[in-house]
Structure 1
Amino acid sequence: MSLAVKNISVTYNPINQSNTFTSGDFISGQVILDVAKDTQMQSLSVKIKGKAEVFWTEHHSKITIVYSDEEKYYSVERFFVRGDKTHGNEMLKDPSGQPYSSVVAPGRHVYPYTFQLPLQHFPPTFKSSDGKVVYTLETKLSRSMRISIKDKTEFHYMPRPDVSNPELMAPQYGTKDKKMKFFTSGSVSMNINTRKMGYYPGERLKILAEFQNNSPRAVKPKYCLYEKHSFFAKGKRKLHTNELLKEEGEPIEPNSRKTVTKELSIPPSLAISILNCRILKVEYRLRVYLDVPYASDPEIKFPVVILPPQLVSGATNSDFGVWNQPPGSNMYPNPPAIAPQAPTLNVGPLGQFAPPSYPGSPCHFAPPSYPGPPLGQVAPPSYTGPLDQFGPSVPHQHDLSAPPPYQEYQFYPQLPDHPEKS
């Protein structure tokens, strides 16, 4: 920090107890500038952006290979002060409606701003050792013949849940038969049902299982919920798997049939599923299998989608922009229910949005391939029966000759798939 500029920071105001923002929310805050003497500014700006990035290295003998990639979602910058004032729509004004001065006196100066998050569904905030999805607010102060001074802060973003998707709320069904060889004779079979595919963190996952043991040995059913984190760069995939829950059932005696109901409590701290990002995925699967002595274990796998929890958000609007005047200013003595309408964005080629009337760099959006529910509303699930019964919907049966390709379970904007193993 220079002698003239003591400190610069960007902050935002939480809108709920979880300090989480979602699609369409307004995010307001301040850029705070402390200076020790009269200071001439060339420009002062605030920027909001979101992106995903992956990074890891692999060592082969004496060679180190770096794998990295990024996916940008949006980037919008607005100026409090700017030497080039030809782009008027980029400029923010003070509470009285006047342009900010490029010269500031000693002391603290506060510059309020408001952005609105896009209505598109983007991946939620996520961090791991090999990749992350981050949403940030940045401020930048530029002065003639001096190095620019910056500050940034991250905010937590979570998309709105889309429980209106019929596949998420439909029951799942799978069956498996296995004939024993070598040291064990006979056969075993199992039929597995789950009430649905989509769950909230902390919700209970109910499993209805029917086991047939036509072998001379007792077999034990086991249940496992595990997560898969996949990262993609340069045609390479890095995969991490981790068992989250593992429980055993009562043994199935020889030459007997047994029907059991099992419930697994999904940990409330689980990260929500990420299926709409090109360079990283967060997936979950339920594995039900029989522990058969002296033979390979027959198993059935189901995808499990962890949904975003319901959020109590601030006001929303259909535009993505900046409200130049903060609530309570002279221009708006009685704050409206929602922020005044910002300039409508120009829509360029598919996947590109740019602020109106200036040739800035386009902001890249991944438009969803499905119409989501209206803002502030969540469509009711397709299954409305009692929780202890399976819905009347036709079960979704999986081909268990091989683990199902995961692109079958895409519930977000369709993006290019990567080949992967189960």
Structure 2
Amino acid sequence: MSLTVKNISVIYNPINQNNTFTSGDLISGQVILDVAKDTQMQSLSVKIKGKAEVCWSERHGKTTVVYSDKEKYYSVEKFFVREEKTHGNDHETLRDPSGQPYSSVVAPGHHVYPFTFQLPLQHFPPTFKGSVGKIVYTLETKLSRSMRISSKAKAEFHYVPSPVVSNPELMAPQYGTKDKQMKLFTSGSVSMNINTEKMGYYLGEGLKVLAEVQNNSSRTIKPKYCLYEKHSFFAKGKRKLHTHDLFKEEGEPIEPSSRKTVTKVLPIPPSLTVSILNCRILKVEYRLRVYLDVPYASDPEIKFPIVILPLQSLSAASSGTNNDFQIWNQPTRGNAYPNPPPSAPPLNVVGQPGQFGAPGHYRPPLSQFPAPGYPGPPLSQFPAPDYPGAPLSQFPAPGYPGPPGQFGPSVSHQSDSSAPPPYVEYQLYPQLPDHPEKS
């Protein structure tokens, strides 16, 4: 920074105890400028913007290839001072509190320039920082002077979607069944029927799993549970994956030639990143794996997709716009959540990398895959990775004019050299379809 400009910074005013913002919120703040002597400004501006970006490199023989991509959500700039000949009329010019234009010449001392933005009513992915990708929302200020390098400063703010769930697909139960015949050192067979109450869970909520296990083998077996996550990054037709087990728990042993029904409640850590399914270049997904620990044999398992929902912030309680999960913020009486957690934890902690891949998974029947005996509604809007090609045309996404796409199976290796198919078009979730994936 030059000797003339001693300090330039931008700050904003929190609107709730978690210091988070959501669609439609007003975000106000100040640009602070300290100068040592009279200073002639060409322009002084403040900008609000949101974007996602990914970047990583891979070695291919002796060559290093860099994979990167960006996705911009919005960018709005306002000027306190500007030269008309250098800027068009598409930017708003702010005035001082008395309604007068700001002077382009500032005297020595401390100067404060207040501003206010309204966040767009569209809903965007939440703030996120991963190993090779991030989603950031920032306020930036820029001071331009003749024959001088521009002085800049920025501040990041935390954006979260804030829904009240009214989509029955997220609240519908999930079912899975698995039978396995034992070989070699273990004889007989085992089978299990697993169901969860729903697919969508709030941060801090309990995930209830009901397991009915028939042990007709010669060994004592034990049901086990694992919640894990997957971060997927996309660029130049490549896909990079990072997986991480969040926690593992186990149930009571089940003796040979016995049948047992076990109920397990798994806590959703309040520090997790909410599911990110509406970004073209990165995704954050979760999966529950239920398996039987069988000695001297491969373990039969069932996997379920889990969608982590954000808690509702006070600033968005009165908003009526649609959000990331095709659900709506509506006035409610009593509790705002169908299954509220005991408290509202901060939403500014980023989780670890993880995976969302899955053979052996059975989902509630999709409308094009009818299954007798299933009491719940069809889940045509949330096809499982094990049902490749389930159409998602009922999810229109404003601003993403690509053709309707499909979910295919995803991959388990770290990158895929094949080019991704056209992006999916549906409500607020434009994303790359998965590449073929192994367990």
**Contact 1:26-1:314 at 8 Å conserved across structures:** no
Give the Å deviation of 1:199. 1.1
Q: Tell me the residue number matched to 1:394.
A: 376
**1: CA distance, partners of 2:324 / 2:284:** 20
Match of 1:68 in 2: 68
* Distance in 2 (alpha carbons) for counterparts of 1:407 and 1:23: 28
Query: In 2 relative to 1, CA 185–306 (structure 1 residues): closer, same or farther, beyond 3 Å?
Result: same
Aligned to 1:419: 435
User: CA–CA distance in 1 between the matches of 2:335 and 2:375?
Assistant: 15
Of residues 197, 200, 204, the one that matches 1:198 is 200
The alpha-carbon deviation at position 89 of structure 1 amounts to 5.6
Is this contact kept in 2: 1:26–1:315, CA < 8 A?
A: no
Q: CA deviation at 1:62?
A: 2.5
Q: How many Å apart are 1:181 and its aligned residue?
A: 2.8
Corresponding residue number in structure 2 for 1:342? none
5+ unaligned residues in a row in structure 2: which ranges? 340-373, 389-405, 410-425
State the alpha-carbon separation in 2 of the partners of residues 48 and 128 from structure 1. 22
1:38-187 alignment runs, 5 A limit: 38-84=38-84, 87=89, 90-187=92-189
Distance 1:123 1:379 in 2: 28
Call closer, same or farther: CA 1:178–1:260 in 2, change over 3 Å: same
Q: Is the 8 A contact 2:45 2:78 kept in 1?
A: yes
2:315 match: secondary structure: coil
TM-score by length of 1: 0.79
* CA shift for structure 1 position 293: 2.1
Instruction: Note if contact 2:124-2:324 (Cα within 8 Å) is conserved in structure 1.
Output: no
Cα offset for 1:375? 6.6
| Backbone CA RMSD of aligned residues | 3.2
Report the alpha carbon displacement of residue 219 of structure 1 after superposing the two structures with TM: 1.3
Partner SS for 2:170: helix
1:15-414 mapped onto 2 (5 Å cutoff): 15-84=15-84, 87=89, 90-313=92-315, 372-374=327-329, 394=376, 403=386, 407=407, 412-414=428-430
Report the Cα distance in structure 2 between the residues aligned to 1:376 and 1:92, rounded to whole angstroms. Answer: 35
In 2, distance between residues paired with 1:237 and 1:395?
33
- Measured after TM superposition, the shift of residue 168 of structure 1 is 1.0
Ranges in structure 1 where 5+ consecutive residues have no aligned partner: 320-366, 385-391
Matched, 1:11 2:11: yes
Range that drifts further, 297-306 or 184-193: 184-193
Cα distance, 1:407 vs structure 2: 3.7
Query: Equivalents in 1 of 2:80, 2:384: separation in Å?
Result: 61
For 1:7 and 1:272, the matched residues in 2 are separated by 37
1:377–1:217 Cα change, 3 Å: same
Structure 1 position 30, deviation (Å): 0.3
Please say which of residues 285-294 and 147-156 is displaced more in the overlay.
Answer: 285-294
Structure-2 change in CA distance of 1:16 and 1:160 (3 Å): same
Residue pair 1:224, 1:245 contacting (<8 A) in 2 also = yes
Q: Which residue of 2 aligns with 1:351?
A: none
- Counterpart contact for 2:167–2:327, Cα < 8 Å: no
TM-score of the aligned structures, taking structure 2 as reference length: 0.77
How far apart are 1:226 and its partner, in Å? 0.7
Distance 1:252 1:286 in 2: 21
SS state at 2:314 partner:
coil
Query: Secondary structure of 1:313's partner?
Result: helix
Name which of structure 1's ranges 57-66 and 98-107 shifts more when overlaid on structure 2. 57-66
**Conservation of the 8 A alpha-carbon contact between 2:320 and 2:328:** no
Taking every aligned residue pair, what percent have the same amino acid on both sides? Answer: 72
What displacement does 1:314 show? 7.2
Residues 26-70 of structure 1: CA deviation (Å, up to 9, x unaligned): 000000111111111000100000001111111233221111111
Segment drifting more, 89-98 vs 104-113: 89-98
